[in-house]
Amino acid sequence: MKLKDISKEEFYRASYGCAGCAAVLAVRLTIKTLGKNSVYVVPANCISTVSCYYPQAPFFVPFTVMAFAATAAALSGISAGFKRKGREDIHVVGFSGDGGTADIGIQALSGAIDCGNKFIYICYDNEAYMNTGIQRSGLTPYGAVTSTTPAPCFENRPKKDMLRIVAAHDIPYAATACISYPLDYMEKVEKASRVNGPTYIHILTPCPTGWGFAPDETIEIGRMAVESGIWKLVEFENGQFRTTYTPKRRRPVSEYLSAQTRFRHLSPEQVAAIQKEIDAARA
Amino acid sequence: MAAKMPVRKYITANEAVAQAVRLAHVDVVAAYPITPQTSIVEKIAKFIADGEMDADYLKVESEHSSLTACMGVRMAGARAFTSTSSQGLEYMHEMLAYTAGGRYPLVLVNVCRSVALPWSIWGDQQDAIQQRDTGWIQIFTETGQEALDMVLQAYRIAEDHRVLLPVMICLDAFIQSHTEELVEIPDQATVDSFLPPYDPVVTLDVDDPYSISVGGFGKHYARWKMEQQEATEKARDIILEMGDEFARIFGRHYGGLIEEYRCDGAEAVLLAMGAFTGTAREVVDEMRDEGRSVGLVKVRAFRPFPVEPLRKVLSTVKSAAVLDRDCSWGYEGALATDLKAALYGLPDPPAILNFIGGLGGADVPPEKMKYMLEKALAVERGTTPHLEFIDP
């Protein structure tokens, strides 16, 4: 995919997203990739909060809100219904946040992958329950302060590895992505759309409001996450993991951490420990 | 394969339900196993495996997901079915309210079973009653035949554009679910003449995109909910209409929102829902033979509540014994409460005696029904409320 291939048509506009919101950008890029032959299920999260209140209608494609725990089950049901109606050509897409995926929605996600219907489940990961006021989720990383892991304490557990969790289901296709690498993301969405079965894409969407950086730094923060190696761009296909982008020279994670207020309490020793873990994983 | 004539067979109410689902051209069945519902979905799975039914069976991981998946099937414009019991229905609770609020014309069969704790797989109606305020139309049945017939009617009621609400058909654990009775299984052509293909109002249509379920603030939310209430009230007429149309085609009629059995000139009546009404008929016959002036009111529709028919029949009696297989803890049985509210403003209302019985699979034998009716016969109007647990 090349930049010039990206559709000029807009299918998602005029949401109430915060300035610098990466999640609404991810929605916009997703629909541009899949086009108008796609339908969207969005549970309780930032996207629904900034998009769904009647008479507001930023989605120019069929859209429904969904109960928090139910995204994947709804995708499975819609997909089964379309199959019966001879409309397997329609892309059935879910847009769930990190908590809606790794916490309350994980059972339905597991069940829906196991069920085997065709859908694209997108987890946009801003690493906490943002629209309810920045509470920690199962995808909040070690060291982050949230409103339920306040300073001087902080999140003391590592992020769940959702890619390995879905891969353990022998899912036909899964990938991680980051909003700062739009072509990589859109190629993965496009690839998922060609799979006749359940697919999962996990995109890191930095959140200025919840992470504590300026709205114009979103893309740079995402880039730091990938260039430092704390977030990896990976695909899972045919039972194999494959890295889709490797930074030429990894930048120190301290740059990424110090750019956000949620990590500013970390001691040099704690930062060094995080760096050591990244180095060990890369080795 | 569809027979050309109705077939009469000894089958359980669970199998009767499966037969109705087969005949209703359901596209997708999504269900999770729980006793005593399982034999419904096992039978459906077998129909599909044997090629007797053209549908997909979604093997979901929970009841929360089974109902959600059914909602998704409806969004795609297809027909869905699910079934559950007890803890499964409780686990669905969030989605019950969600689907009713979203006006999804779903059909669910609940095989009524006790709710833990204490853990019990046996029957009562606490599970269904606890879903009373989710917005589902709830209809209680007495026999396997009524269960089959009501599943077919449920699709008509739910999908009627004047209603567009989900319908829960309730049957009683074991007394119905696992007891074989003679059931007439209609032929496909006759069912097709009663139940047309699903004609959805709105779907996830890529050629005509809508946000089909959304959020609403303040007055928009209130307007939406007011329309939901209006549709639920309107459903009374549609239930009657479908019952009449069904009777014209199939020759079976169940009386509408309630069925009055030997209530003419009765001094006291017994009110009950579900399979125990079968026993109650026998008791009423016996007592009538003994010259006792009693009748039975079988409440079929619990939501929408049959306010007018109940006011009409209850205004002529001195007292009523209400058998509840449920309890609103800290108050009384739900049917008793709702009945009293329905009678509000009657100039000379009957005395209402509430009996909680048949909990956790306890039987309510004829002697106990007689006991309740005798007690009702003995009281005068204006008697203070009476609540009695008859099982222990």
Query: Do B356 and B390 meet the contact criterion of CB atoms below 8 Å apart?
Result: yes
The structure tokens listed for B64 are 């929360």
Report CB contact under 8 Å: A112, B65: yes
Report CB contact under 8 Å: B73, A84: yes
Report CB contact under 8 Å: B75, A61: no
Query: Coil, strand, or helix at residue B7?
Result: strand
Query: Do B109 and B57 meet the contact criterion of CB atoms below 8 Å apart?
Result: no
Query: Do A137 and A127 meet the contact criterion of CB atoms below 8 Å apart?
Result: yes
Does the interface predicted TM-score (ipTM) exceed 0.85? yes
**CA-CA distance, B359 to B124, in Å (whole number)?**
5
Checking if the pLDDT of A282 tops 80, the result is: no
Q: What is the rounded (10 degree) CA torsion for B118, B119, B121, B124?
A: 30
Report CB contact under 8 Å: A67, B68: yes
Report CB contact under 8 Å: B213, A74: no
Query: B244 to each of B239, B248, B259, how far by Cα in Å?
Result: 9, 6, 14
The structure tokens listed for A78 are 């819609």
CATH architecture entry for B7-250: 3-Layer(aba) Sandwich (3.40)
By C-alpha distance, which of A186, A204, A201, A203 is closest to A236? A201
Q: How far B205 CA lies from chain A's nearest CA (Å)?
A: 6
CATH number of B258-389: 3.40.50.920
Report CB contact under 8 Å: A64, B204: yes
Residues 6+ apart with CB under 8 A from A221: A180, A206, A211, A213, A256, A259, A260
pLDDT per residue of chain B (392 residues) written in tens, 0 to 9: 444 688 999 999 999 999 999 999 999 999 999 999 999 999 999 999 999 999 999 999 999 999 999 999 999 999 999 999 999 999 999 999 999 999 999 999 999 999 999 999 999 999 999 999 999 999 999 999 999 999 999 999 999 999 999 999 999 999 999 999 999 999 999 999 999 999 999 999 999 999 988 899 899 999 999 999 999 999 999 999 999 999 999 999 999 999 999 999 999 999 999 999 999 999 999 999 999 999 999 999 999 999 999 999 999 999 999 999 999 999 999 999 999 999 999 999 999 999 999 999 999 999 999 999 999 999 988 777 899 999 99
Q: How far A171 CA lies from chain B's nearest CA (Å)?
A: 16
Point out the residue among A37, A52, A61 whose CB comes nearest to the CB of B215.
A52
Looking at beta carbons, which residues of chain A come within 8 Å of B206?
36-39, 61-62, 90
The structure tokens listed for A228 are 């430092």
- Each as own residue / partner, the long-range contacts of residues B315-318 (CB below 8 Å, 24 or more positions apart, any chain) are B315/B343, B315/B346, B315/B348, B315/B349, B315/B350, B316/B263, B316/B266, B317/B263, B317/B266, B317/B267, B317/B268, B317/B269, B317/B350, B318/B267, B318/B268, B318/B350, B318/B351, B318/B377, B318/B379, B318/B380, B318/B381
Looking at beta carbons, which residues of chain B come within 8 Å of A47?
none
Q: How far B59 CA lies from chain A's nearest CA (Å)?
A: 6
Report CB contact under 8 Å: B75, A110: no
Fold match, B7-250 / B258-389: yes
Query: B11 to each of A215, B3, B223, how far by Cα in Å?
Result: 67, 17, 46
By C-alpha distance, which of B186, B191, B34, B48 is closest to B110? B34
Q: What average pLDDT does the segment A50-68 reach?
A: 93
By C-alpha distance, which of B125, B65, B64 is closest to B90? B64
Point out the residue among A65, A75, A90 whose CB comes nearest to the CB of B206.
A90
CB-based contact (8 Å) between B133 and chain A? no
Point out the residue among B28, B211, B212 whose CB comes nearest to the CB of A80.
B28
Q: What are the tens digits of pLDDT across the range A200-241?
A: 999 999 999 999 999 999 999 999 999 999 999 999 999 999
Query: Do B269 and B375 meet the contact criterion of CB atoms below 8 Å apart?
Result: no
The domain limits of chain B are 7-250, 258-389
**CA-CA distance, B14 to B273, in Å (whole number)?**
18
Q: How far B1 CA lies from chain A's nearest CA (Å)?
A: 20
Mind listing the domains of chain A with CATH numbers?
A: 9-282 (3.40.50.970)
